Amino acid sequence: MNAPAPAGSTTATGRDFEELWQNAPSAHLLLGDDGLVQAVNATFTAWTGHTPAAALGTPFAQLLPAGDRILWTTRCVAQLTATGRVAEVSVQVRGADGARHPVLMSASRVTTAAGPEVRITLVDAQQRRRYEQELLSARRSAEERAAQIAEAEAGLQALVHRDSLTGLLNRPGLRRALNTRLTAPGGTGPDDAVPTVLFIDLDGFKTVNDDLGHAVGDQLLQVLGARLTAAARAGAAVARFAGDEFVVLDDLPPSAAPAVAERLLAALAEPVELAGVEVVPTASIGIAAALPGAPDEAGATAELLLRRADTAMYRAKAQGRGRWAAHQPGDSDPATDRLTLLEQLRVALRDGELRVHYQPRVHAATGRTAGVEALVRWQHPTRGLLPPSAFIDAAEDSGLIRELGAWVLQEAVEQVVRWDRAGGDAAGLHVSVNLSARQLAETGLADRVAGVLARAGLPAARLVLEITETALMSSPELALRTLEQLGAVGVDLAVDDFGTGYSSFTYLKQFPVDELKIDRSFVAGLTTGVGDRAIVASCVHLAHAMGMIAVAEGVETAEQRDALVELGCDQLQGYLFDRPQPADVLFPPLPVGVA
């Protein structure tokens, strides 16, 4: 007798079911209502040695040892009669050679057109235990990996917003604190207090570094950072913004800011003895406040206040050392400047003033070039060659970034194809192109990327699209959908400037990301600060735990390179290897006839 055919089966499906039944990983028997074996599958024969001919017509109970036979006839048969089912029970089945095979038995009673029948399933108990052990091992491995990721995230959460040298807030930490104050319903100061930025730049700090050395310069920064913390109000936030620049953020009445600036200047001006030399520090301070009632303050942003304070600081520095200045309406207005800049940028796109430069990325282990990153430049007719920092923010805010980004993508992809055709060292390289938050939100972005690749004839796997943490977190759900669509095209995806936005860590494991690019601010302090080294190590560990490669940006010294290699970073990028260059400078054309 063959296997029980599924209801409503055709001849073809019946054959398929017969094959599945015969070769199932479990042993199967079919009993008549009288308990006699009517069919067995090939697995049962392989396990026990009972051929179908020998098994047919045998009472099922006779295939069991005496103890299990009693269990079957007294408990299992009664349960089948009452409920039609026997849950998994542990029994032994006797083989043709008398050997006993431990199995887990389950049974069900069904009624077919031919009458009632009992279907028996036997699972190898030893095999089941092996499966369970493998499953337990896999679960433990997954739990260990999750614990590693959680540990790395916890370390980054503790370190990512602090400057490793001074212990003060760093630039990302300051921006977070400033955004919080700008959006909070109330501050930490008096009722008429407003968020106020005091931007501090040390006077003549380069001379200290040049004359006494960078180690002494670092000591001075630590001393002055501690002085600013002590001189600032208890509710203030103090940050090392960059290099020799500090920021004090506080909620102050507009009339109180000058007195605070004077107090900070006095604290900084106390003499310091370093390496046997007395240094008398001075600084310049620019003040900018989110003034209530001003027409342009309703939408005040962290960047706007920082730019205004920075502008005021330069005005103070122009007046001499140890001075402060507050932002004035007559100062160059960033909003007006931006409108002019955008109009000029539109002309630049139309008239071909934009350029793409390329910076190589190298394999950390070998130093061989792995690919290039495409970086836009603007050949301004009067201001010369402008870096992206001079115009990208304005393009992003205005939406012009879509047109600009599309042009960069097209140009970069076509350049890689030109390199392939020319042969030489540049052939076969990957190219990385940055995507902004606005581009990521574009409908049909994946289709447009696929179209650019198809028209140029470049395999999708040769293109890496880089997205900053900020862009990903502006709308995580939308970003996830777009990244999945881009991943389906076949391009690689990278998280750029990683480490500057902790809020994205919980989403990171959901994004189909291939690369993690460690922000240059952490690489800069890699060999001078324990904190930055810990952050970079955590970033590399997190990337590898999630199956991504780790890329370090801003590598400028051999010491940084060696430290990154030691930490297991996969690829490196920075001035140590090459600055961003035009395509024909980075890879000069081969002489005619050479390929």
pLDDT digits (tens, 9 = 90+) for 248-287: 999 999 889 999 999 999 999 998 888 888 888 889 999 9
Question: 60-97 burial, b for 16+ CB within 10 Å, e for fewer?
Answer: bbebbeeebbebbeeebbebbeeeeebeebebbbbeee
Torsion of CA 175, 178, 184, 187, to 10 degrees: 150
Whether the CA torsion 65, 69, 75, 77 is positive or negative: it is positive
Structure tokens at 250: 């506080």
Asked whether the beta carbons of 281 and 272 are under 8 A apart, the reply is yes
Measure the CA–CA gap between 528 and 344, rounded to whole angstroms: 42
Q: What are the structure tokens assigned to 242, written together?
A: 């960059």
Q: Token pair of 500, please?
A: 């500057």
- Judged on CB neighbours under 10 Å (0-12, 13-18, 19+), 259 is exposed
300: nearest Cα among 472, 210, 158, 183: 183
Q: Which sign does the torsion angle of CA 323, 329, 334, 337 carry?
A: negative
Burial letters 196-216, b for 16+ CB under 10 A, else e: bbbbbbbbebeebbeebeeeb
Both tokens assigned to 301 = 């942003």
Nearest of 285, 292, 304 to residue 252 by alpha carbon:
292
Q: Indicate the residue type of 36.
A: L
State the pLDDT at residue 424: 84
Q: Do residues 431 and 463 make contact, with C-beta atoms less than 8 angstroms apart?
A: yes
In the structure encoding, which two tokens stand for residue 103, read together? Answer: 């199995």
Structure tokens at 523: 């690489």
Question: Which pLDDT belongs to residue 591?
Answer: 57
171-332 has which fold? Alpha-Beta Plaits (3.30.70)
Q: How far apart are CA 559 and CA 52, in angstroms?
A: 75
Angle at 316 between CA 315 and CA 320, to 5 degrees: 115
What are the backbone angles phi and psi of residue 416, rounded to the nearest 5°? -60, -40
Surface-to-core class of residue 108, CB atoms within 10 Å of its CB (0-12 exposed, 13-18 middle, 19+ buried): middle
Structural contact between residues 396 and 387, judged by C-beta atoms closer than 8 angstroms:
no
- Furthest CA-CA distance within the chain: 110
User: What phi and psi values does residue 214 have, to the nearest 5 degrees?
Assistant: -70, -30
Closest to 157 (Cα-Cα) out of 497, 479, 500, 496:
500
- Of 437, 431, 533, give the one whose Cα is nearest residue 483: 437
Name the E strands within 271-353: 272-274, 277-279, 283-289, 324-326
The answer to whether 530 and 497 have CB atoms below 8 angstroms apart is: no
Interhelix angle 401-422/445-456, nearest 10 degrees: 30
The CA angle 25-30-23, to the nearest 5 degrees, is 25
State how far the Cα of 357 lies from the Cα of 578, in Å rounded to an integer.
11
Nearest of 55, 81, 135, 71 to residue 103 by alpha carbon = 71
- Identify whether the C-beta of residue 197 lies closer than 8 Å to the C-beta of residue 218: no
Question: How far is the C-alpha of 560 from the C-alpha of 523, rounded, in Å?
Answer: 7
Structure tokens belonging to residue 435: 């995507």
The fraction of the chain above a pLDDT of 70, given in percent, is 90
What was the pLDDT predicted at 594?
47
* DSSP-derived secondary structure letter, 59: B
Neighbours of 168 (CB within 10 A): 22
pLDDT digit of tens for each residue in the chain (595 aa)?
556 655 445 555 667 778 888 988 899 999 998 999 999 999 999 999 999 999 999 999 999 999 999 999 999 999 999 999 998 899 999 999 999 999 999 999 998 888 899 999 999 988 888 888 888 888 998 888 888 887 777 677 667 788 888 989 998 889 889 988 888 765 555 667 899 999 999 988 877 877 788 888 899 999 999 999 999 998 899 999 988 999 999 999 988 999 999 999 999 999 888 888 888 888 999 999 986 544 444 445 788 889 889 889 988 887 877 899 998 876 665 555 667 888 899 999 999 999 999 999 999 999 999 999 999 999 999 889 988 888 887 888 778 899 999 999 999 999 999 999 988 888 999 999 999 888 888 889 999 999 999 999 999 999 999 998 777 876 778 888 999 999 999 999 999 888 665 444 566 778 899 999 998 888 988 887 677 888 899 889 989 988 999 999 999 999 999 999 999 999 999 999 999 999 999 988 755 444 4
**Secondary structure class of 563 (helix, strand, coil):** helix
Which of 516, 438, 519 has the alpha carbon at shortest distance from 482? 438
Residue 54 has a CB neighbour count (10 Å cut-off) of 14
pLDDT of residue 191: 63
Q: Report the b/e string of 363-389 with b at 16+ CB within 10 A.
A: ebeeeebbbbbbbbbbebeeeeebebe
Whole-angstrom Cα distance, residue 431 to residue 416? Answer: 7
Range list for CATH 3.20.20.450 in the chain: 337-583
Helix (H) or strand (E) holding 250: strand 245-252
Query: 47 near 124, Cβ under 8 Å?
Result: yes
Give me the pLDDT at residue 295, please: 40
Q: Show the tokens assigned to 262.
A: 């004077």
Superfamily per CATH, domain 337-583 = EAL domain (3.20.20.450)
Eight-state DSSP code of residue 169:
B
**Structure-token pair, residue 519:** 């922000």
* Superfamily of domain 11-129, CATH level 4: PAS domain (3.30.450.20)
Q: Which two tokens stand for residue 255?
A: 């009339």
State the Cα–Cα distance between residues 56 and 500, nearest whole angstrom. 72
The residues of the chain that CATH labels 3.30.450.20 are 11-129
CA 183-160-263 angle, to 5 degrees, is 65
